Amino acid sequence: MKFSILLTSLIYFSCGLPSTKKDLETTKNDTIVISKKITDEISGSAYRKRATKFQLVNQLDTSNFSIIISESNNNEYDNEGVVYLEIEFDKDKNYKQQKQELKKILIEASKHYKLDSLKSIYSIWLPSLGDLNVKVSKELENKNQLESIPENYNKPCDFLLKSSLTQEINDIFKDYKLTVKGYGIEHFGYYSTGNVIKEYSKIETKIYDFPRNVITGDLTIYFR
């Protein structure tokens, strides 16, 4: 009788475990998207119908990269169902890693929100984009537009529409039929190469490919 119970237990547990080393590695490396409803009374919550935080997790850890999607109620500024997005970056990851995480998260988020109703991505601190920000700054320099902080913010915004930033954003959101309409920018300025490397260490661009200065500012992306 004891042998029968032991045999049954071994069969039960073995069925629930990876059978090979490859299966074990796959299980450890598999990632899933988790979500958490946001119920805190934060700025703008009076105009919000609901909001959710999404991020990736595997058996080893939870990613520090995450997004918050909110859906508007019917108010004086928006119709019900308009969607907004905020991104919380992880400065310990490079741009390519975070882009891939964002794409995975958006697939899951699109099951809960109508992403084709996305109106804007709010307040991206440009250096958080790492290598992409360096690339865009280099493009600005190559067009001889890298100069002292302009008083008119329309100038950098117009440039960004023609830059690699717009190409990247459009690529990420093409499956949701979204394209960039325009940008808003606050606190526009420049960082030295040393400051960027110091604060954002996960940059793969070689030092000799850096521009003289890297653009900074709080960026809002608007979709058509």
Domain boundaries, given as residue ranges, for the chain: 18-223
What whole-number distance in Å separates Cα of residue 213 and Cα of residue 138?
8
What whole-number distance in Å separates Cα of residue 205 and Cα of residue 135?
8
> For residue 151, what are the contacts with CB-CB under 8 A and spacing of at least 6?
none
What whole-number distance in Å separates Cα of residue 212 and Cα of residue 137?
9
pLDDT of the residue at 17: 39
Highest mean pLDDT of the ranges 47-51, 70-74, 121-125: 121-125
**Least reliable range by pLDDT among 35-49, 143-157, 171-185, 210-224:** 143-157
What whole-number distance in Å separates Cα of residue 67 and Cα of residue 86?
6
Using the predicted structure, report yes or no on whether residue 220 has a pLDDT greater than 60: yes
What whole-number distance in Å separates Cα of residue 65 and Cα of residue 101?
8
Question: What are 3's two structure tokens?
Answer: 């042998």
Mean pLDDT, range 56-60, rounded to an integer: 85
